[in-house]
Structure 1
Amino acid sequence: MAKTTIYAGLEIGTSKICVVVGEAKRDGTIKILGVGTAPSRGVRKGEIVDFDTVHTCLNDALVRAEDYSDVMIRNVFLGVSGGHIESVNNRGCYRLPADQSEITEDDVEEVKEIARNVPAPQDSISMHSVTRQYIVDGVEAVRQPIGRQARQLEADYHIVHGSLPRIQNSIKCVKEVPLEVEDVVFNGIAAAQVVLNREAKREGALMIDLGGGTADFVLYEDGMLTISGCVPLGGDHISQDIAMALQIPHGRAEALKITEGSCVYEDVPPGDMVRVEDDTGYVLGEVERAFLNEVIYLRVREILEQVHQRCEGHIGRLAAGVYLTGGSSLLKGIDVVAREVFGMKVTRAGSAPVSGVTATFENPQFSAPIGLIRYAQILDQEKPFLSPLKRLAHRMADLLSVAI
Structure 2
Amino acid sequence: MARRSKIHVGLEIGTSKTCMVVGEVKPDTAIKILGIGVTNTAGVRKGEINDFPQARACLKDALVKAEDASDVEIGSVYLAVTGSHIQGVNNRGTFRLPEGDPTVAPEHVQEARDIAKDVHIPADHVYIHNIIRNYWLDGLEHNTSPVGLFGKTVEADFHIVHGIGNRIQNSIKLVREMPLEVDDVVFSPIATAQMALDPEQRERGALVIDIGGGTTDYALYLGGSIAASGCIPVGGDHVTNDIHLVTGLPFSKAEALKVTEGDASADPAKAVGTAKLTDERGYADVEVKRSILNEVIRQRLEETLKLVKQRLPEGAVENIGAGIFLTGGTSQMRGFSELAFEVFGRDIYRPESSDFSGSQNSFKDPRFATAIGLIRYAQILETERAKPPGCLGRIARLFWMGR
Q: Quick check: 134-143 or 347-356, which moved more?
A: 347-356
Judge conservation of contact 2:106–2:147 (CA < 8 Å) in 1.
yes
Report SS of the residue matched to 1:372.
Answer: helix
Q: 1:105 to 1:143 in 2, by over 3 A?
A: same
1 CA distance for matches of 2:28 and 2:243?
47
How far off is 1:106 after superposition?
A: 2.6
Whether 1:324 and 2:322 are equivalent positions in the alignment is no
**SS state of the match for residue 85, structure 2?**
coil
**Contact 1:351/1:366, CA 8 A, preserved across alignment:** no
Q: Which residue matches 1:70?
A: 71
- The offset of 1:312, in angstroms, is 4.6
| Matched-pair identity in % | 47
Aligned to 1:218: 219
Q: Which residue of 1 aligns with 2:196?
A: 195
Question: What displacement does 1:270 show?
Answer: 6.8
Shift of 1:71: 1.2
For the 8 Å contact 2:266–2:339, the answer to whether it is kept is no
Give the equivalent residue in structure 2 for 1:4. 5
Letter in 2 for 1:308: K
Residues 275-322 of structure 1 deviation map (CA, whole Å, 9 limit, x = unaligned): 245799874442111111111101110110100110151111111121
Output aligned runs, 1:5-404, within 5 Å. Answer: 5-268=6-269, 272-276=273-277, 283-313=284-314, 314-350=316-352, 353-385=355-387, 387=389
Q: Which moved more, 1:127-136 or 1:21-30?
A: 21-30
User: Is the 8 Å Cα contact of residues 35 and 69 (structure 1) preserved in structure 2?
Assistant: yes
Counterpart of 2:135, as a letter, is: Y
Shift of 1:362: 1.3
**Would the aligned equivalents of 2:23 and 2:34 in 1 still touch at CA under 8 Å?**
yes
Residues 285, 67 of structure 1: alpha-carbon distance in 2 compared, 3 angstrom cutoff: closer
Q: In the alignment, is the contact (CA less than 8 A) between 1:352 and 1:362 conserved in 2? A: no
Could you tell me which runs of 5 or more consecutive residues in structure 2 were left unpaired when the two chains were aligned. Answer: 392-403
Q: 1:352 Cα deviation (Å)? A: 5.2
The alignment yields a C-alpha RMSD, in angstroms, of 2.0
Deviations 1:116-147 (A, max 9, x none): 00001231111111111000122113323122
Q: Distance in 1 between matches of 2:118 and 2:305?
A: 32
TM-score (norm 2): 0.92
Q: Distance in 1 between matches of 2:244 and 2:144?
A: 52
Distance 1:261 1:60, change over 3 A: same
Q: Which amino acid aligns with 1:214?
A: T
What does the per-residue CA deviation read over 1:335-389, in whole Å, with 9 as the maximum and x for residues that have no partner?
A: 1111111122111335555112322211111110000010011110111347489
**Contact conserved, 1:263 with 1:337, CA < 8 A, in 2?**
yes
TM-score (norm 1): 0.91
Structure 1 pair 38/351, CA: closer, same or farther in 2 (3 Å)?
farther
C-alpha change, 1:61 and 1:386, in structure 2 (3 Å) is: farther
CA distance in 2, matches of 1:190, 1:47: 17
Report SS of the residue matched to 1:229.
strand
Q: Distance in 2 between matches of 1:334 and 1:25?
A: 35
Whole-angstrom CA distance in 2 between matches of 1:262 and 1:20:
30
Query: Partner letter of residue 219 of structure 1?
Result: L
Q: 1:202 touches 1:220 (CA, 8 Å); kept in 2? A: yes
**Deviation digits for residues 148-203 of structure 1, max 9, x if unmatched?**
22222110011111111110111111111111111110010000011011111111
Distance 2:347 2:313 in 1: 17
User: After superposition, what is the alpha-carbon deviation per residue over 1:6-54, rounded to whole angstroms, capped at 9, x for unaligned?
Assistant: 1111100011000111111353211111110011111110000000001
**Whole-angstrom distance in 1 between the partners of 2:321 and 2:272:** 41
Letter in 2 for 1:311: L
How far apart in 2 are the matches of 1:60 and 1:31? Answer: 23
Q: Which residue of 2 aligns with 1:393?
A: none
Kindly state the Cα deviation for residue 272 of structure 1 after the two structures are TM-superposed: 0.9
Give the 3 Å change call, closer, same or farther, for CA 235–71 of structure 1 in structure 2. same
1:76 positional shift: 0.7
Q: Please state whether the residue corresponding to 2:39 is helix, strand or coil.
A: strand
Q: Distance in 1 between matches of 2:118 and 2:388?
A: 18
Residue 271 of structure 1: CA displacement? 5.3
Say how many residue pairs are matched: 389
**Alpha-carbon distance, 1:269 to partner:** 6.5
